[in-house]
Structure formats: structure tokens, C-alpha cells
Amino acid sequence: MTELRKEVEEIGRLFKIVGRREELLRMLIAAKSNKHILLEGPVGVGKTLLARALAEYLCRDFVRVDGDERIDENKLLGHWDPPTVLRMGYVEEAFIPGPLTKAVLTGSILFINELNRLPESAQNALLPAMDEGIIQIPHLGTLRAKEGFLIIATQNPEEDIGVYRLSEALRDRFVLVKLGYPARDEEIEIVKTHIPEVDDRIAEISVEIVRRTREHPNIVRGCSVRSSIDLAKITSLISDGDERWYTSALMILPQRIETNDSSIDKERLVRELVRSVLDGYKLDFPTQRGLQRSR
């Protein structure tokens, strides 16, 4: 386990990953055990970053599929090019591989973003590749997976519109790794990592405002870490003063939150959240002093 933890620290250092050491450890153990990985967590907590970092660390190509109800079994496997088939017949050169076939043949990591947005037929197409490392292509035959083939998929448990239930058979073939929102200090560090030049107080206040959206009783889905980054970036471009926080927050947050009552005025709600955070701090913008909690 000591060596694995050293590898995890190396991944974190190489790819500038803040926190997530336990999640990375579980993913690394699963990959070394040739087990497919299902990352479950809300939007914007770094699922794609972790998957890509693991793929690069393991020196494997990264083939991405974004979950969509229009993706069926044929789009995952690939298709025959009609002009080439007419000219040469069903030869290998006439087949255009889909992402699943490409990953199988090259021993790559197939990353499926929002797996539960794939229809049942597409989900079922994954089973033979996950079980036996094979796929069947009509007119071409059975293709066997090259060593290194692995599926890393994600799903957002909070989504309930436009999603399909994962079958028991499919869930049974994944190792589950759950990701929650990062701790406050880690979220601030993430903002600073993405915006190296950001003022410390802007990073802190941005994170505080966004985190309030996850705690408010009338908000059923708050904003992601991406919102903290965006809020800090936009605020940094606006001249000093309290009003800039309202301007930037109203540009970023209302369309990203979901309330438990459609009659709630989201812009008013965002203004209240911003005010509640600003009231908790002593701000001195003109003198550029460090951020201090008001007492």
C-alpha cells in the first residue's frame, strides 16, 4: 500500500490535483486490478480530471464518449463506409471503428461521461467488452481487447431528467468510486490553481458564495467548483467595490442553481446569498488589505 500511495502522490503532483488522494488511490487499485471504474458525484468535482490523469499516468490513450440518448450500439461499435464496401467489399479497411472498438483495439481507456445518459442498447453493447474483452462486428468477426483496455465512466446521482437507469448487470461490472464536493480550503486552492494571479480574498469570497448555494434550504442543486473558478475570474476583471460581487454573481449563478419552488426569484436569491457572505467579512478593497473576518 505504501508504494501505491507514493504513486498517488506522484499523480497528484504531475497533474496538479488538489486533494482527492483517497479517490485516486481507489482508482489506481481498480486499474491495476483490471476493474472498470464508475465515478459517481455531482457536476464539476473533477471526475474527468481524475480519469484523464490516471490514463496519462498509465501511458494509455484516452477515448472519450459523452452520454447522449442518440448514441446507440452501432455508434459505439462503428460502421461500414458504403463507398468502400461497394468498391472492396466487407474488408477491414472499409470499417470505421467507433469509440468502443477503437479503445478495445488499442488497449486504451474508454471514458464515458454521464454513462446513465446512454440508452439501454448502448449500455448493453459494453457488457461483452467488460466481461470477456471481446466485441462482435458483423461481417468482421470477433475482436479481442488489447491489454490495457479499461472503461472509466461517470454519473451524476443528482440528475433525474434525460437519464436511464443502469442495469444491474452493468453496475455489477464496475468498481464504484464516489466523489463529493471538496473541503473549503481545497476548493480555494483549486481556484488558485486555475487562476494563479487571483487575489486571495477574491478566491475565498468566491468559494464562500458558491458553497452557500449548496447549503441554502430553498436550493436543491447548488453550484459546482467550476462556478467558484468562474466567479473569481469574472470578479477579478471588475473594478473594486461591493457591487462587483453582485454583477459577477448574477452573470454566473442563477442559471446554475435549481430551487425547490419555481416561483422563487433566482436573481433575488443570489443577491441575498452574496450579501450574507459580504456581511460576514470586513472588506477594504482600495487598500488591498488581506481578507479578515469581521468580529
Which CATH number belongs to the domain containing residue 75 in this structure?
Answer: 3.40.50.300
Domain count across the chain = 2
Q: Tell me, what's the pLDDT at 160?
A: 61
Q: Tell me, what's the pLDDT at 282?
A: 61
Q: Tell me, what's the pLDDT at 48?
A: 94
Q: Tell me, what's the pLDDT at 92?
A: 87
Question: Is the pLDDT at 289 greater than 80, yes or no?
Answer: no
Please report, for residues 53, 111, 165, 193, the alpha-carbon distance to residue 70 in angstroms, rounded to integers and kept in the order given: 28, 17, 16, 36
DSSP state of 148: T
**Among 178, 212, 234, which residue terminates a domain?**
178
**pLDDT digit string, tens, across residues 55-87:** 999 999 999 999 888 898 989 999 999 999 899
Average pLDDT over residues 223-241: 93
Q: Tell me, what's the pLDDT at 158?
A: 67
Cα separation, 90 vs 105, in Å, equals: 18
Domain residues for the domain of 141 are 2-178
Question: Do 47 and 164 reside in the same domain of the chain?
Answer: yes
Question: Do 151 and 190 reside in the same domain of the chain?
Answer: no
DSSP-derived pairing of the beta strands 36-40 and 150-155: parallel
pLDDT band at 161 (very low <50, low <70, confident <90, very high): low
Residue pair 294/282 in contact by the 8 Å Cβ criterion = yes
Question: Do 50 and 134 reside in the same domain of the chain?
Answer: yes
**Among 178, 193, 223, which residue terminates a domain?**
178
Where is pLDDT greater, at 60 or 140? 60
Average pLDDT over residues 170-174: 93
Residue pair 227/187 in contact by the 8 Å Cβ criterion = no
**pLDDT digit string, tens, across residues 79-115:** 999 999 899 888 888 999 999 999 999 999 999 999 9
Q: Tell me, what's the pLDDT at 60?
A: 95
Q: Which residue from 170, 52, 36, 179 is spatially nearest to 116, judged by alpha carbons?
A: 170
Question: Do 26 and 141 reside in the same domain of the chain?
Answer: yes
**Among 178, 198, 232, which residue terminates a domain?**
178
Question: Do 74 and 199 reside in the same domain of the chain?
Answer: no
Question: Do 165 and 207 reside in the same domain of the chain?
Answer: no
Question: Do 192 and 278 reside in the same domain of the chain?
Answer: yes
Q: Tell me, what's the pLDDT at 32?
A: 95
Pull the grid cell for residue 54: 490516471
DSSP-derived pairing of the beta strands 174-178 and 36-40: parallel
Question: Is the pLDDT at 162 greater than 80, yes or no?
Answer: no
Q: Tell me, what's the pLDDT at 284?
A: 46
Average pLDDT over residues 213-228: 94
Cα separation, 148 vs 110, in Å, equals: 10
Question: Do 37 and 156 reside in the same domain of the chain?
Answer: yes
Q: Tell me, what's the pLDDT at 57?
A: 96
Question: Do 206 and 93 reside in the same domain of the chain?
Answer: no
The kind and range of the H/E element at 52 are: helix 47-57
Q: Tell me, what's the pLDDT at 77?
A: 94
Q: Which of 151-160, 229-238, 246-255 has the lowest mean pLDDT?
A: 151-160
Cα separation, 58 vs 55, in Å, equals: 5
pLDDT band at 159 (very low <50, low <70, confident <90, very high): low
Angle between the N-to-C axes of helices 266-278 and 200-213, in degrees from 0 to 180, rounded to the nearest 10: 130
What is the average pLDDT value for the chain, to the nearest integer?
90
Q: Tell me, what's the pLDDT at 291?
A: 43
Sign of the Cα pseudo-torsion (101, 103, 107, 113, in order):
negative
Question: Do 79 and 211 reside in the same domain of the chain?
Answer: no
Question: Do 92 and 134 reside in the same domain of the chain?
Answer: yes
Question: Do 31 and 151 reside in the same domain of the chain?
Answer: yes
Pull the grid cell for residue 295: 468580529
Where is pLDDT greater, at 281 or 111? 111
Q: Tell me, what's the pLDDT at 294?
A: 38
Q: Tell me, what's the pLDDT at 185?
A: 96
